[in-house]
A and B are shown apart, each in its own frame.
Chain A
Amino acid sequence: MDAILSEVKVLELAQAPSGAFCAKLLADQGADAIKVEPPGSGDSARQEPPFIGGAPHPDRGTAFLALNTNKRGITLDLAQAEGRALFLRLASDADVIIESFQPGHLARLGLGYEVLRGANPKAIVLSISYFGQNGPYAEYKGDDLIAQAMGGFLYAVTGRANQPPMGTALQQMELTAGRNGVIAVMAALLHRDQTGEGAHIDVSVMEAAISTPSMLIHPYSYTGRVPRRGSMDRNVMDGMHLPTRDGEVTLTTAGTGGRPMEVWSEFLGEPRLLDPKFATRLSRQEHWEELRDLVAPKLAEWENLDLMRETMARGLVIGLVQSPKQVADSPHLAERGFFVELPHAEAGTLKYPGPGFFFDGANPMQPTRGAPRLGEHNTEVYCDRLGLANEELERLRAARVV
């Protein structure tokens, strides 16, 4: 199948992971996505550890590699007038422009939405910021942790009841905002095809965080109870992580036909699970330590993949708590062809996760290239796309515009 977005031109002004992820999602479906980085150090994400090979290197950071697949990369100094003029030339025939600066930053540079629209009335401009383009917090600084805090996620979702709030790993609120952004961009592309109109999209990472746990706003509004972390702490059969021989597992009572203890007792070969004190969810919570001490040694006899196969055969529902290594080596994902190998001059060839969907049986993630090195595509973009002469590009390089 041809890449779906091969006719879509995207410009990403590098700043926050949310914008990078959104542009990556489009680039992976074939959009010509150009990442615009400041000359010199480039996207600050290039400094984020860890690095393939160990030592810090601007092209080998795993976060940078993961969030910038299939993009081309150029450098451009927007603080200089010549840089801004070049940017507007690029913007004039872009379909989508993605920026994740603090609100007002681009306007102060003379590149606010009205200016971009003047250069390209059909442009779809996506602004992702931690708190949105307006409102009392608009100028506040943020990062993923702050968004988890202000979005109610930190207080309510992940941590344990008797410990401080804790959030999820790997910048999930940034990613959620990026996914929300890409939905809005696709909707705007469809809308533009019908009406010819561009759009300015405002995505807030705080609001993305609020929308993510569905047990937050409306449950409070219905019940008056404030959702708080730790609701699953004592659920041996439904939530706790328990060790296996080569990893961990989390059980559920699903697939037991309403007889969880009978079914699990038989499966694990542990008749003491039939004790009436474990008969209900509440009584299991009350006697959770005793229950754990019966269940855990039985599970510890199993290898992860064997346990998955045998529970699956009986219609039981479990989750292997897989390490990233176990995921990367997963026979299931290998058979499905989920990972896509991309070569990279500095990081070598690595397996990257696909988008999570297959189109007509094929993984639609484009295998074009790994993340761009800093300024890797300057000549291609400035000379071939904008038509600058080589000498002109040299002059811009000397003036540190590029």
Chain B
Amino acid sequence: MSEVLPLQGVKVLTLEQVHALPWGTALLADLGAQVIRIESVAHLQDRRAGPFVDGKPGEEWWNEGGNLVYYGTRNKQSLCLEVTHPAGKEVFLKLVKNCDVVTDNFRPGTMRRLGFDHESLTQINPRIITLSSTAYGYTGPWRSAGSRARTVDAACGMSYLTGYEGGPSVRASNNYMDHSTGNNVAYALLLALYRRNKTGKGMRIDLTMQETGVSCIAPAILEAQHDIKRPRLGCGHLWKSPHNVYPCAGDDRWIAIAVANDTEWAAMQQVMGAPAWAQDARFDSVTGRWQNRHELDQQVAEWTATQDAKDLMRLLQAQGVCAGVALTAADLVDDSHLKQRGFLQEFNRFPAVGPRKFARRPFRMSEQPPGIRSVATMGEHNEVVLREVAGLSPEEIRALAEQSVIADRPKAGEQAP
């Protein structure tokens, strides 16, 4: 596959904050789209969010946070423009004329108040694709509700299904839904761009985090319609055993083992040295092992408890037993497999921050999966975007700066996070 990035030439204007939408537009940026992130000196929470080196914001803290590199401004441009100012609004609409996609994650109603709703933008650019990424959507009784990713983990049914065996429901994740939603944003926009290439037509997209979440638990939705209750099983499985996480030597070290059939069970017994307890006839069949899984788990745990997790994984895998260490972030940055695949990327943009490691995107179409080519400092692309995309003259740009409609640093007196 040649080096031309698939979305070269596509321009995306994005009014985005926090996580889900920035993740989605970062994927488009990875694929070569020109993603112009519009920021505001009045809303700096993403630039305050860190993480900072050793947890301490530096002198230029607004450009130093790691989330900005991982998804906030990754491969994007930053235009710090006050769109609520009449002159800023005018500039925004000039940009829309020359862009392909406009995305936002405001609550429903805000874009209309700003005069940036789909109908208004279509007047300026009939081929425009607009996408709003919200918690609950533009229609329905919950449309005005606010959210956090974990409240949507809850509302979509995911957290209800998550928990230790026999225990209460547990929040599934702080931001799994952000990522799933961001991935869905990218898919929806790619579909819209594909359709526009074929038909010339723009599109309005109403995308929600809750519904993305429900699409992640589809089997349980079918079961609910027949009153089938899905139990919480922790790391357990509906029919496989051993299928759990087991303690290993050292502090908080664990190995996950997943045995699916008699062949794998036989292989595992061999690795264990064919202990007498494993000869028990109750463990001879898939059903028997599952029915007696608590006892089986306890026996396996006693065996694993004294062993090195990584050595044991290699031993089990070599015999065809599905096993994997519960790796920590420290393990992962040092992992030989990931190194050989080039999955982690070291990126060094600011002397004050130094070289830091990042995961790449988990798909690769040529030699490398999409990596970080650049990150944008606050307002770094004000001039180039206003000149090339909005068609403003140097005098007009200077006037905007003098009126503080554009900026490239926080307001004087802004406290560090």
Contact = CB atoms under 8 A, between A and B. Distances in A.
Contact of B187 (A179, A325, A333): A179
A319 B152 contact: yes
Contacts of A86: none
A254 B139 CA distance: 22
A158 B162 contact: yes
| Interface class of chain A by DSSP | mixed
Contacts of B175: 213-215
A65 B221 CA distance: 11
Nearest to B142: A332
Interface in B1-43: 1-2, 4, 6-7, 19, 23, 27, 31
Nearest to A65: B222
Given A159-B164, A318-B151, 8 more contacts: A50-B223, A158-B162, A169-B172, A191-B6, A216-B332, A220-B330, A252-B148, A324-B161
Contact of A208 (B27, B158, B221, B362): B362
Contacts of B71: 214
B400 interface: no
B215 A354 contact: yes
B409 interface: no
B97 interface: no
Contacts of B321: 141
Interface stretch (A70-78, A275-283, A345-353): A345-353
Given A67-B218, A327-B156, A136 B340 contact: yes
A217 B320 contact: no
A260 to B, nearest CB: 13
A165 B254 contact: yes
Contacts of A140: 317, 322, 324
Contacts of A157: 173-174, 176
Contact of A332 (B27, B140, B184, B256): B140
A211 B362 contact: yes
Contacts, number: 470
B150 A188 contact: no
A353 B151 CA distance: 19
A214 B363 contact: no
A231 B171 CA distance: 11
A357 B234 contact: no
B79 interface: no
A351 B326 contact: no
Top 5 nearest A-B pairs by Cβ distance?
A319-B151, A319-B154, A186-B190, A66-B218, A356-B212
B308 interface: no
A356 B328 contact: no
Interface in B181-200: 181, 183-184, 186-188, 190-195, 197
B235 A167 contact: yes
Nearest to B211: A356
A294 to B, nearest CB: 19
A147 B362 CA distance: 13
A135 B335 CA distance: 11
Contacts of A222: 50-54, 66, 353, 356
A218 B357 contact: yes
Contact of B327 (A53, A152, A163, A326): A152
B169 A321 contact: yes
B363 A201 contact: yes
Given A50-B238, A324-B217, A62 B222 contact: yes
B95 interface: no
24 contacts: A135-B338, A137-B317, A146-B322, A155-B252, A156-B329, A157-B176, A158-B170, A165-B254, A166-B170, A176-B180, A182-B187, A183-B27, A183-B363, A186-B191, A189-B194, A204-B362, A218-B359, A221-B333, A226-B329, A324-B161, A327-B157, A352-B218, A354-B215, A361-B204
